[in-house]
Structure 1
Amino acid sequence: MLRQFKRKLATYPIINYDQLWSQLIDAEVVIFDIFNTLLKSSIPNKPSMFMLIANIWQRENQLELKNFVKLRLNAESKAHKKYGNKTTLANIYEFLSVPKSVMEVEIYITHELNQANAPMQMLYQALKRIGKRLIVIADTNIDKQVVAQLLAQNGYSDYEKLYVANEYGSSKKNSLLFERILKELNIKPNKVLHVGDEWQADYFASLGAHIKCFKIPRVSINSLQPLIANDAILNTIQLFSNNMLDKYEFDSYQEFGYSAFGPVILGFSQWIDANVASDYRIFFFARDGYILQEAYQKLYPNQVTDYLYVSRRALQVPLLKNSLNIEDVLNYINLPREFTASQFLKACGIDKIRMKDSQSKVKYTKDITSLSWLNALYQEYKIEIITNAQLEFDYLKEYLLKIGFTDKVAVVDIGWHGNKQRALEKFCQLADIPVIIKGYYFGVAKTAKRDQVTSYGFWFDQVKNQNQNNLARPINGILEFLFSAKHGTTIRYDKSNGQVQPILAPYEFEGNHDLIVQGQLLKTIRQAALQFVVDFTDSKLNPIIQLAPKSAMKLFELNVFKPSNDFMRRFGHFVFIDRNVKYLVTPRSNWYYCFHPGQFKRDFLLSRWAIGFLKRIFKLPINYFNIYALLMKYFDKMHY
């Protein structure tokens, strides 16, 4: 309750810029507060700042700063008791037994984690142009010279005078500094307007000197995401994001893209850069790697990467060029649990065969009961399958050699089972292409352990840690929807004018009106996420902040694992297009499932966003991931 009250107080009042401009014009002299007025900090509070200082210093020096947050707070208290309002940062560090470089990190952080408050900067520049007298003041332990540098690097210049409270042994929390300004500059208080964010230090202190104050909120809430406690790095990213949103007029989809999905692709890009060896050439797999490559290139513009047009079908069909037994064929191709003869042949690369009605309706599985029938079907069309596979094999080999897929290669994709990497390694072995492949994935499922492909997971890695959950499985539709490219899947390769090129399927989000609208929404989400990466890249945070996977994923996880009703309304109606067009969340009524529990099982298992499916049914504020895990465990037992 107290936290909520403080947040309300910090965000009050909402700024009426027309009213503020009117008062600024009427005043002869304007006194601007600096911190959280002219400048916006990306640090929520002192403990978070001190935690960040410790993290950065420890990362750079490979040493531990034990209990630094507590010690730094105590040192400030002791310094104020000894030096009073004249306390400087150097005075505070007299009471800390830490290397001098720690104080240098704090000064650096203060410099780098303050950015110009865009709306205030526009007003400041406008006042400069009309010749208004401008005074700037700060109540801080930082030296005046450092404050002046901070203002200059953020575009604030040509003010009449800078006042830093500790220089005069006073504080903004009483009226003495404001009275001193009036006396030194010979200004009448009724000719002055003060603009600041603090109730005591700005509003009441200036009123005590009979100066009118325009109070602005210390924090303007632009983001819809909750502030995460006990994570200084993520808090910094969140405040940066919140401050930057002042520049944009985003809707709720774009805000999600900027504030929640943006940190995801940023953190993954940083992880790739930190983990891929410099002598490995990076290839991003189509299509899920499309936005990942865009984010990586924006963050690391000098790095050379490639985009590899591949799909499971385009890689698996060429492996059928030799005569195989039916078990090997089924291991190579990708099929649903139940499939028709037409689907089997299409997965083998033959999709223009007309089947008899009696044949086309028969459903097969990969179980032993279907093997003799499938083998007979394979034998019937084996010549066509092998002939087509040989042609596709040759074109794929030529394509890989043309783009330089040799030597040491890092492949990057969303994940999960390593099927594309496994098929590529098998293909390169058959094609005598000398290559060492390492896979870097958003997540690695335990099934990737098969055939021992070398892979690494960012969000989760069940091969390295079997106790981890497959976090992607209950939200797979949301993930693949967000990561999909703006082009169709790769079908195969063909030669035109002597050059091998990938042949792509039509883009899914074209055609009818609803799909076009959804495609546009998806585009705006991804553009907003990439804009976050651009803004971060151009900011002073870039060399400082390294987002750990847990921090990068936190806001995204809150939205998709614990979706609000509003999030459900916005994303539940989206469609996921795989073999069929399906809505992400389309449960039937609860009454229907009471009388048809078997249908509940089928709908639940087929849902591409199982968490959202359960939320739509139960509508309670409970942990749906745990419910999902229990149901999956129960259904798995039933299956066996």
Structure 2
Amino acid sequence: MNITETIVRLAAPYTAVAFDVFDTLVKRDVAKPTDLFLLAGSDFAKARVQAEAEARAQKQGEVTLAEIYGRPCLARYDPARECALELEAVTPDLPLLDAVRTLQAQGKRIYYISDMYLPPEQIAAMLARCGYDGLDGGFVSCSYGVQKRSGTLFRRFLRETELKASQVLFVGDSWRADVVGAALAGIRAWHLPSHKAMPEFVSADDFAGGAVSAFVQNRVGQRPYDGEVLGFSVLGPLLVAFCRWLHERRVQYGHGKLYFLARDMYLTQQVYGILYPEEETCYLQVSRRSLCPALLAEKEYPLLWAALPRQKLTGAQIAAYCGADCPESFARQSFDLKSEEMPAGLRELFAALCPPPAAELVHAYLRQSGLEMGDLLVDVGSGGTTQILLEALCKIRLHGLQLSGDERLRKRLSDDRAEVFLSLAQEAAKLYWAGQPMLERLISQDIGAAKGYAAGINRITVCREELTPEPVLADIQRGALAFAKAWQTSVLAPVIPEPALSIAPFLHLLAKPSKTQTRLLGDLTVEDGGVYPLAKPQPLAMYLLHPAQMKRDLAESRWKIGFLRRLLPGALPYDRLYLAMKK
């Protein structure tokens, strides 16, 4: 249903249209009204809830804010603080705002009628903040001591505006107070359907999670589920929480520059810059491949092996990866780099390779970067390989700050050398690692990986592999940046969602993707030791004739749940099917 068009069509025969205010014209960026009080502290929230209960118990009809603050338990609190929070936490319901502006342009008289303890001046200020200008008047229950549900406030509205009930359409979200209450005064009412909750957030029931959920859904709930919406709702909360954690760690250590590793941490650095514009950060453009020439030159053979792609490669391919020429005797020899131990003959291959001239350019770039002892290295994770390589080449110790880390990290780096933001339960961890290549692509700079360096005029420049940019990634990243900008200027800015809550929308995307989401993301390719499709099955009919091809395509896919969702559209438990296959 198009809410704006529906309201405008229903209002056509009426002279005036009146609207409920809260959860109709405006929304609050909290899960429930009393959560707003928590923004002023838990002690205040407890006293505020108690005071309103006491005030309502002593009076029939609507109470006023002054009567609530007249209770002894709120004696040391100023109602101005609550009014300021209400003003900061309010946001317009965009389809309703569009409807009001369209109706005003048609010459309709527009009013608001609200059951509320806040004074009319406060509600008028909140409506104006949300863009509702030029309204013809408002009626608030606390000014009259009567409420909508009895029909009395509606009759008072008709009397003071000199309108007939047949001239008015009322729009509200409550069947009892709005629809029945208006009917008792003879006014036709239309019940505003509740927005369909975004499935990523339906289980967020704590204060921080509920606030994030409300904040997101108040801004994107009525928009098409395109790339920008996905970035706003899925990546935005995760990266803001991660950047808040990074900032805490930077303050904790009090020294050391913050280096974001290209390309994976490109979007994270952009979000960090929005949240902390006064801080200077660095972008280190290295890849494991770009470091290989220097590792080869310094005969760091175990580290060089760790830097190679986990694939089966020939000697010629390994030499090319290291920027060296391969002796003919090793060119066709195959090496299984997926093995737990260094493959037989690999050390001999390394020793036979001539150190490439590019090795000195690697060191020149690292010197140019200014990387020093104790600097903080931000990476997507998982095993800390790049940190170890940089420490070996620069002869320094860094402190890693990783979005995620697997069991390899703790075997390689102690707690005082690397910290991890995400700590997931076993089931969530399985899903996360199934989608980690996708997450890397979504937050990475959409350019080719660094493959080496070149000497420029007084500066070392980065040489890159070719990569065709994906427009959908630009949309997704624009959405994540929009979330960061909106969050930074909101009353919720001090709220830091727990890591498990901030990653929850991404885990939901992985486990229970919609048809639109798989179409949006499935055709992307990701780098995972090679270049692989994310979730791009061929037609089911082809697989029925060639089942072996389906097995190969599924094995190659890096988002197997998305692959199954696209191949077998419907309402199957794709995540449970995937986890069963993993077992």
Shorter chain as denominator, the TM-score bin is 0.7 to 0.9
Counterpart residue number, 2:26: 39
3-state SS in 1 of match to 2:38: helix
Q: Does 1:425 align with 2:391?
A: yes
Whether the aligned pair in 1 keeps the contact of 2:431 and 2:507 (CA below 8 Å) is no
Counterpart residue number, 1:374: 346
- Cα distance in 2 for partners of 1:244, 1:24 equals 28
- Cα distance in 1 for partners of 2:567, 2:580 equals 13
Shift of 1:171: 0.3
Moved more, 545-554 or 156-165: 156-165
- Cα distance in 1 for partners of 2:427, 2:2 equals 48
Shift of 1:275: 3.0
Q: Quickly say closer, same or farther: Cα 1:133–1:285, change in 2 above 3 A.
A: same
Counterpart residue number, 1:320: 296
Q: CA-to-partner distance for each residue in 1:444-471, whole Å, 9 max, x for gaps? A: 222123144722222238xxx9999476
Counterpart residue number, 1:477: 437
Which residue, out of 233, 236, 244, partners 2:211?
A: 236
Unpaired stretches in structure 2, ≥5 consecutive residues: none
The letter of the residue matching 2:335 is: K
Shift of 1:391: 1.9
Q: Quickly say closer, same or farther: Cα 1:17–1:366, change in 2 above 3 A.
A: closer
Q: Quickly say closer, same or farther: Cα 1:577–1:443, change in 2 above 3 A.
A: closer
Counterpart residue number, 1:114: 90
Whether the aligned pair in 1 keeps the contact of 2:20 and 2:172 (CA below 8 Å) is yes
Moved more, 286-295 or 141-150: 141-150
RMSD: 4.1
Shift of 1:422: 1.6
Counterpart residue number, 1:411: 377
- When the two structures are superposed, what TM-score results if normalisation uses the length of structure 1? 0.76
Shift of 1:557: 0.8
Whether the aligned pair in 2 keeps the contact of 1:118 and 1:246 (CA below 8 Å) is no
3-state SS in 2 of match to 1:336: coil
Which residue, out of 508, 511, 533, partners 1:558?
A: 508
Counterpart residue number, 2:482: 531
Q: Quickly say closer, same or farther: Cα 1:567–1:205, change in 2 above 3 A.
A: same
Shift of 1:304: 2.5
Counterpart residue number, 1:515: none
Which residue, out of 393, 401, 406, partners 1:445?
A: 406
Whether the aligned pair in 2 keeps the contact of 1:40 and 1:243 (CA below 8 Å) is yes
The letter of the residue matching 1:42 is: D
Shift of 1:139: 0.6
Shift of 1:500: 1.0
- Cα distance in 2 for partners of 1:171, 1:95 equals 22
Q: Does 1:273 align with 2:233?
A: no
- Cα distance in 2 for partners of 1:625, 1:55 equals 42
- Cα distance in 1 for partners of 2:500, 2:343 equals 44
Equivalent runs, 1:500-519 vs 2, <5 Å: 500-507=460-467, 509=468, 519=470
Whether the aligned pair in 1 keeps the contact of 2:378 and 2:402 (CA below 8 Å) is yes
- Cα distance in 1 for partners of 2:26, 2:340 equals 69
3-state SS in 2 of match to 1:136: strand
Whether the aligned pair in 2 keeps the contact of 1:611 and 1:628 (CA below 8 Å) is no
Whether the aligned pair in 2 keeps the contact of 1:15 and 1:216 (CA below 8 Å) is no
Q: Quickly say closer, same or farther: Cα 1:366–1:151, change in 2 above 3 A.
A: closer
Whether the aligned pair in 2 keeps the contact of 1:87 and 1:141 (CA below 8 Å) is yes
- Cα distance in 1 for partners of 2:128, 2:280 equals 35
- Cα distance in 2 for partners of 1:555, 1:246 equals 14
Which residue, out of 100, 116, 124, partners 1:140?
A: 116
Q: Quickly say closer, same or farther: Cα 1:21–1:436, change in 2 above 3 A.
A: farther
Q: Does 1:245 align with 2:220?
A: yes
- Cα distance in 2 for partners of 1:244, 1:34 equals 17
Counterpart residue number, 1:635: none
Whether the aligned pair in 1 keeps the contact of 2:4 and 2:95 (CA below 8 Å) is no
- Cα distance in 2 for partners of 1:119, 1:533 equals 23
Counterpart residue number, 1:396: 365
Q: CA-to-partner distance for each residue in 1:157-196, whole Å, 9 max, x for gaps? A: 4444332102211001121112112223333333334333
Q: Does 1:198 align with 2:159?
A: no
Q: CA-to-partner distance for each residue in 1:311-339, whole Å, 9 max, x for gaps? A: 11223432333345x546535x3242533
Counterpart residue number, 2:196: 221
- Cα distance in 2 for partners of 1:441, 1:574 equals 24
- Cα distance in 2 for partners of 1:451, 1:398 equals 24
Q: Does 1:286 align with 2:262?
A: yes
The letter of the residue matching 2:408 is: T
Which residue, out of 21, 31, 37, partners 1:53?
A: 37
Which residue, out of 165, 169, 174, partners 2:145?
A: 169
Which residue, out of 160, 174, 177, partners 1:184?
A: 160
Q: CA-to-partner distance for each residue in 1:512-532, whole Å, 9 max, x for gaps? A: xxxxxxx22333222233333
Counterpart residue number, 2:316: 342
Whether the aligned pair in 2 keeps the contact of 1:137 and 1:163 (CA below 8 Å) is yes
- Cα distance in 2 for partners of 1:368, 1:88 equals 71
Shift of 1:296: 2.2
Counterpart residue number, 1:455: 418
- Cα distance in 2 for partners of 1:163, 1:368 equals 73
3-state SS in 2 of match to 1:276: helix
- Cα distance in 2 for partners of 1:57, 1:425 equals 44
Percent identical among aligned pairs is 24
Shift of 1:81: 2.9
The letter of the residue matching 1:23 is: A
Counterpart residue number, 1:3: none
Q: CA-to-partner distance for each residue in 1:346-404, whole Å, 9 max, x for gaps? A: 34331x54746x842533558799766333323322xx22x536423442234323xxx
